[in-house]
Amino acid sequence: MADKDYTYSDVSEHSTKKDLFVVIHDKVYNASSFVDEHPGGEEVLLDVGGQDATEAFEDVGHSDEAREILDGLLVGKLKRQDGDPQPKSYAPAASSSSSTEGAGLGVGLYAIILIGGVLAFGAYKYLQSQQEGQ
């Protein structure tokens, strides 16, 4: 059943709580059975029902467990046609590299604070020794 091709038109017909399809990375998933169990609430799924939910899915940063559940909901793949909305370019690698850059900034900031603390401690000790010498 997961070998079936769906068009955007096909997917868009499945946008209700009891009949809910979503597209993620050009794969079509039947989320109908998962609506009530979705940790983010049913509204989140209903907002993207019948359409491409790739960006919404990836922006949340779903766990490996969530991706396994998603695999179990696979019903087919999206067959793109002329006039279909184009997918937004989503590069998971880009987001992980930007988070790596953010981590690098965090380490750099930590180093600056640490050096500042050492310098402040050194200045304190210097001033303390100057007062004892008077």
Domain locations in the chain as residue ranges: 4-79, 91-134
Q: Convert the pLDDT of each residue in 113-125 to its tens digit.
A: 888 889 999 989 9
Q: Can you point out the beta strands (E) in 7-103?
A: 15-16, 19-24, 27-30, 74-78
Give the CATH architecture of domain 4-79.
Roll (3.10)
What mean pLDDT value characterizes the chain? 83
Q: Convert the pLDDT of each residue in 32-42 to its tens digit.
A: 999 999 988 88
The Cα–Cα gap between 95 and 58 comes to 10
The Cα–Cα gap between 129 and 67 comes to 62
